[in-house]
Copies of this chain bind each other. A is one copy, B any other.
Amino acid sequence: MNILIVYAHPEPRSLNAALKDFAVEHLRQQGHSVQVSDLYAMKFKAVLDADDYLAHPAAERFNPSEASRLALANGTQADDIAAEQAKLQWADAVILQFPLWWFGLPAILKGWVERVYAYGFAYGVGEHSDHHWGDRYGEGRLAGKRAMLMVSMGGWASHYSERGINGPLNDILFPIHHGMLFYPGFEVLPPFAVYRTSRMDSDGFTTACAQLAQRLDGLWTDAPIAFRRQNGGDYAIPALTLRPELAPGESGLSVHLLHD
C-alpha cells in the first residue's frame, strides 16, 4: 500500500523526527511505499493568499474559495499545492504527524490543510440539494483512504483524559478528525499519542516504537472512529442537525458517533 506522512517538526534530532524515521522504516520493511512531506524541511508556504492562484488578477477582490475553485478547475494552482494533492491521491493512507501546539496543528501543517484542500478537491464536491449536502463527512474525493494522527504532547495522559483539564484528547482533536479528515472522505483511525515527551528516556522510546509498530500494522484492519455519515439519513438536510430520534436528548460532540 501507499502511505503519505505529512510531518511538521522543525528539528531533525527531535523525538518526533525519530518516531517519523521509525515509522518510515517499519512501513517499508512491511513492503509498503512511503512518501514524507517534511513541511519544515520543504519550507512549505504556510499562509494561504492570492499568490496561490496563479491566474488571479491582482486588482480583483480575493475570495479564497472562489479563487481556489477556479485554479483547481483551470490548472492554475501553485505547483506545491498540486504536488501535495497528487500525493494525497496516490496514498491509500495518510498520517499527519505533529507536536500538539496550543491544542492544535502547528501553523505550518494547518496551512498545508488550508492550501492543499482546494474547493472541488476537499470541499465543494458533489451535489447540493435538499437530500444531499455535498459529498462530505464520509463521502468525497478522499473516500476509501484511511487517515491517522501521530501526535506528541508535553503534558501527561491524565491531563487529556475524560475528566482531564485540557479536555479529552478525542474532543480536542474533533476539529481535525471530523472536520479535516472525515469531511473529505477519510476513514479516521484513533490517534497514536505520546505524552510527557520531555521526560522520555530510551526505554520509553523503545516502548513507544513498539506501540507505534502495532498501530502501523493495523492501518488497514483497525476499526475507524465511528462517525455518522452526513448523507446516510441520520441528519436532517439542509439544517444538518441530528434527527431527534437518534441519541435523543443528548448534545455535544459525542452524538456524532454511532453508538453500539
Is A156 on the interface with B (CB-CB < 8 A)? yes
Is A62 on the interface with B (CB-CB < 8 A)? yes
Chain B residues whose CB sits within 8 angstroms of the CB of A102 once the complex forms: 110, 113-114, 117, 175, 179-180
Closest 7 CB pairs of A and B: A107-B111, A103-B179, A103-B175, A162-B251, A165-B240, A158-B239, A107-B110
Mask, A59-72, CB within 8 Å of B = 1, is: 00111110000000
- Contact between A114 and B106 (Cβ–Cβ < 8 Å)? yes
Tell which of A10, A179, A247 has the most Cβ of chain B within 10 Å.
A10
Give A157's nearest chain B residue, CB to CB: B239
- Contact between B252 and A254 (Cβ–Cβ < 8 Å)? yes
Interface residue tally of chain A, by bracket?
A: 35 or more
Identify the stretch in A47-55, A142-150, A202-210 within 8 Å (CB) of chain B at 4 or more residues. Answer: A47-55
Residue pairs across A and B with Cβ atoms less than 8 A apart, 10 shown, are A10-B50, A11-B64, A46-B108, A104-B179, A163-B242, A164-B240, A164-B242, A167-B174, A167-B253, A253-B253
- Contact between A172 and B172 (Cβ–Cβ < 8 Å)? no
- Contact between A163 and B251 (Cβ–Cβ < 8 Å)? yes
- The answer for the CA separation of A171 and B178 in the assembled complex, in Å, is 13
